[in-house]
Structure 1
Amino acid sequence: MRLHDEIRQRLAVLNPEALELHDDSAAHAGHAGNTGGGHFDLVIVSKVFAGQTALQRHRTVYGLLGDLIPDQVHALSVKAYAPGEF
């Protein structure tokens, strides 16, 4: 399974109303500290995030993807919103 698909599948448990995942890996290939993992920008909208702080939202996402970091995912930018905030 492609990494992009693996990330989407794991985040599906949040029942996202919107999910945008952009792979920026090609723009970062070979930079210092990168051992080959991908660079991703994530925008996700889910009812799960209602009433949560930004830190709680990020912890939720990283809890689902944490074992992919740093080997498969080198960098992940997360923008997590509750419905009505996006």
Structure 2
Amino acid sequence: MGEGNGGTGMAERIERKLTEALTPLRVRIVDESHKHAGHSGWQPGGETHFRVEIVADAFVGQSRVARQRLVYQALSEELQERVHALTLRTFTPEEDPREH
């Protein structure tokens, strides 16, 4: 679940949306907003910049760009509302760095 500034509402929302859309085997969301204070897109209270690591069968046979599109589609509302930046690491189960 969300890390960084503790479990945040937006991190939990991101996790829920990705789980519903991609049925991941593993998903990790870290709120990195505190690292971007004063930068473009930053807002008081954080929840604007996230790092997402996700392992899903949905990524099998997909290019890096196609995987990112799947994530962006799942989070389209969040990206329009508050989320300014996502750092994505997308893996198939066979590519999962935790399993190797």
Q: Aligned equivalents of 1:8 and 1:45: distance in 2?
A: 12
Amino acid at match of 2:60: A
Residue equivalent to 1:74: 84
Paired with 1:46 and 1:71, the residues of 2 have a C-alpha distance of: 25
Cα shift at 1:71: 3.6
Q: Does 1:9 align with 2:16?
A: yes
Q: Is contact 1:7–1:65 with CA below 8 Å preserved after alignment?
A: yes
TM-score by length of 2: 0.77
- Name the one with the larger strand percent: 1
8 Å contact 1:35–1:71 — kept in the other structure?
Answer: no
Relative to structure 2, which stretch is displaced further, 36-45 or 53-62?
36-45
Of structures 1 and 2, the one with the larger relative CO (CA 8 A, separation 6+) is: 1
More helix by share: 2
RMSD (Å), alpha carbons: 1.6
**Maintained 8 Å contact 1:18/1:44:** yes
Give the C-alpha shift of residue 70 in structure 1.
Answer: 4.8
Distance 2:81 2:89 in 1: 22
Superposition misfits of 4+ residues, deviation over 2 angstroms: none
Q: TM-score, normalised by structure 1?
A: 0.89
The sequence identity of aligned pairs, in percent, is: 33
Corresponding residue for residue 5 of structure 2? none
Secondary structure of 1:80's counterpart equals strand
CA contact (8 A) 2:56 2:93 kept: yes
Aligned to 1:20: 28
Distance 2:89 2:41 in 1: 22
Aligned residues: 85
Gaps of 5+ in 1: none
1:62 paired with 2:72, answer yes
SS at match of 2:94: coil
